[in-house]
Amino acid sequence: MQKFVQTLLFFLIICLLPACAPKMPPLDEVSDPRVLPQQVEDYLLGEVSDLRVLPQRVEYYIQGLSGATRLLSDDRRQSLAAHFLERRFAPWDADFGVQTDNGDPFRGLKQYQSRPLYGENLLPLPPGWLEEMARQSAVESYPSRMQAAVAVVTTALRVLPTHKPMFNDPTSAGQGFPFDMLQNSLIPAGTPVLVVHASQNGSWYLVRTPHVSGWVRPWEVAWADQAFMDVYRSADLFGFTRDEVPAHTSSGAFVLLGRVGMLLPRSPIPPPPGMIALLAPLRRADGWAELESILVPDDYVVPWPMAATPDNFSRVLNGLLGRPYGWGGLFENRDCSALIQDLYALFGLAMPRNSRAQAQAGRVIELENLSAKQKEKHILEHGVPLLSIVNMPGHVMLYLGPDPVSGRPIVLHSIWGLRVQLPKHGSPPTSTPGRWILGRTVITTLTPGKELPSLIRPQGLLVERISSLTILGE
């Protein structure tokens, strides 16, 4: 009976395919024998072939590198780490010369003046909403504060002083959820900041870091006096190798969740077996910071900077694979550039926050005027696995190396979706208007979704929009 049912389903699919499914497009000139048998099944199941045929494990693509090989020399590693610390603690320096993604802290008030804006209910925001945001921003009194502080929780930096989302036209592809245009970035607990301004009613602070600025709630930061800063700067730092690592006091009180990209000082208190004692900044009732010893499992923290070896990269990246996409750090997730920044922070490389700046953060090899085949060839010839990022407008990807089967370049990236035509009746459930959702950190070729009949060409193919390759750590 079971065999009969299987046979019947097979003939039904064969009969329905010509009528319901568009003709599958040809694959790349460099064919991958794993893809062809999967094409129809992938389309029906709503998943791109790359994610079904490519092993989602980093070590598979770096087999040519010895696991303990130092990708950065000791001298270079020390130099990069020193630069990282200089940048990290710059907000606490008297001569802090801020370099943010955009020098105008009130750009949102100007940028959103002449366009329709929508709220969390996907309805137009009421008249006067932007005027109220301008009033609360108190531009005329800027800067009203200039005080060193530290983030005491993992903190969202907002473009305007509100926690409510703001969307462009939600009916347009890539404009609605999750693209909250007021979500500027995310900083981990323990990040030094400079508070430069307060909102009109005092419910928001405008903070700056060397890479980004934004509005935070007052209880998300604490004032840092000189004694606090001296202890914090002089202690050895430890970094987290995975997300959602619980940290508690010795009495068992929960303090925070560690995450990749978070660095905390080591505590002098001897920890129990299997644990590491770190120092976490807490906010006292008077608003000032104090350090509290916390305990975390020693499996998930390492002395900073972590050695840049293939084994260590694999350890961290494998833990990040599959993590949900988060525009600007929304819901404490990562977008493409946050993934790159947090990853390299653990290894002592200070990376800018946005993709455009990251594309200029090393030796740049231009690829824009090449064909797709030439781009892939150049990336294979010049890319340094684990120390190169592949760039396109608005998106960055970490180069892992060549695929052992097809020989094509393989990348790891946090991506929302691929550009597809508006869905028709019978489209897979993962397809939303104009986007085929991937929505997480994945390993792909440079042409994920190439087999999709609905993929918009050529713009839907990532390789067509790749503009450069950036070699880091040199």
At 366 the three-state DSSP class reads strand
Token digits for 196?
């430069």
At 137 the three-state DSSP class reads helix
Question: What is the pLDDT at residue 24?
Answer: 41
Token digits for 16?
């329905």
Domains held by the chain: number: 3
Exposure of 200 by Cβ count < 10 A (0-12 exposed, 13-18 middle, 19+ buried)?
middle
Query: Does 453 lie in the same domain as 328?
Result: yes
Alpha helix (H) residue ranges in 198-248: 226-234
Cβ atoms of residues 434 and 172 within 8 Å: yes
User: Domain boundary residue among 204, 224, 244?
Assistant: 224
Question: What is the pLDDT at residue 331?
Answer: 96
Residue-range definition of the domain harbouring residue 389: 51-66+308-471
d(CA 463, CA 450): 10
d(CA 91, CA 94): 8
- Quick one: which H or E segment has residue 465? helix 462-465
The distance between the two most distant Cα atoms of the chain, rounded to a whole number of Å, is 79
Query: Does 313 lie in the same domain as 173?
Result: no
70-74, 259-263, 441-445: least confidently modelled range: 70-74
**Could you tell me which of 197, 202, 96 has the C-alpha nearest to residue 140?**
197
d(CA 70, CA 75): 11
For the beta sheet containing 155-158, the strands, ordered from the edge strand earlier in sequence to the opposite edge, are 183-187, 155-158, 213-216, 205-208, 192-198, 147-151, 221-223
d(CA 106, CA 215): 10
Task: Answer yes or no: is 34 within a domain.
Answer: no
At 325 the three-state DSSP class reads strand
Query: Does 250 lie in the same domain as 184?
Result: no
Cβ atoms of residues 238 and 302 within 8 Å: yes
pLDDT tens for each residue of 422-464: 766 655 554 567 899 999 999 999 999 999 998 999 999 999 9
* Beta-bridge mates of residue 324: 440
Task: Answer yes or no: is 396 within a domain.
Answer: yes
Whether 106 has a pLDDT exceeding 70, the answer reads: yes
Whether 18 has a pLDDT exceeding 60, the answer reads: no
Query: Does 263 lie in the same domain as 338?
Result: no
Query: Does 242 lie in the same domain as 203?
Result: no
d(CA 306, CA 347): 5
Peptide bond into 192 cis (omega under 30): no
Residue type, 270: P
Query: Does 90 lie in the same domain as 56?
Result: no
Question: What CATH number did the domain enclosing 433 receive?
Answer: 3.90.1720.10
Query: Does 450 lie in the same domain as 318?
Result: yes
At 120 the three-state DSSP class reads coil
Question: What is the pLDDT at residue 103?
Answer: 73
- Quick one: which H or E segment has residue 84? helix 74-88
Whether 117 has a pLDDT exceeding 70, the answer reads: yes
Task: Answer yes or no: is 20 within a domain.
Answer: no
Task: Answer yes or no: is 408 within a domain.
Answer: yes
Whether 27 has a pLDDT exceeding 70, the answer reads: no
Average pLDDT for 255-259:
98
Model confidence at 174, in pLDDT bands (50, 70, 90)?
confident
Peptide bond into 178 cis (omega under 30): yes
User: Domain boundary residue among 177, 199, 224?
Assistant: 224
Task: Kindly report the average pLDDT of the chain as a whole number.
Answer: 90
Task: Answer yes or no: is 44 within a domain.
Answer: no
Task: Answer yes or no: is 132 within a domain.
Answer: yes
Cβ atoms of residues 347 and 472 within 8 Å: no
Query: Does 318 lie in the same domain as 182?
Result: no
Of the two residues 434 and 232, the one the predictor is more confident about is 232
pLDDT tens for each residue of 378-408: 999 999 999 999 999 999 999 999 999 999 9
pLDDT tens for each residue of 122-156: 999 999 999 999 999 999 999 999 999 999 999 99
Model confidence at 243, in pLDDT bands (50, 70, 90)?
very high
d(CA 406, CA 27): 12
d(CA 185, CA 158): 7
- Quick one: which H or E segment has residue 78? helix 74-88
Query: Does 265 lie in the same domain as 207?
Result: no
Whether 7 has a pLDDT exceeding 90, the answer reads: no
Query: Does 465 lie in the same domain as 328?
Result: yes
Residue with tokens 């070699």: 471
- Quick one: which H or E segment has residue 18? helix 2-20
Query: Does 378 lie in the same domain as 241?
Result: no
Name the E strands within 367-419.
388-392, 395-402, 409-419
Query: Does 141 lie in the same domain as 56?
Result: no
d(CA 88, CA 361): 16
Exposure of 61 by Cβ count < 10 A (0-12 exposed, 13-18 middle, 19+ buried)?
buried
Task: Answer yes or no: is 7 within a domain.
Answer: no
Q: What HEC string does 175-196 produce? A: CCCCCCCCEEEEECCCCEEEEE
Task: Answer yes or no: is 27 within a domain.
Answer: no
d(CA 184, CA 166): 12
Residue type, 192: P
**Could you tell me which of 304, 311, 382 has the C-alpha nearest to residue 344?**
304
Question: What CATH number did the domain enclosing 157 receive?
Answer: 2.30.30.40
User: Domain boundary residue among 303, 326, 359?
Assistant: 303
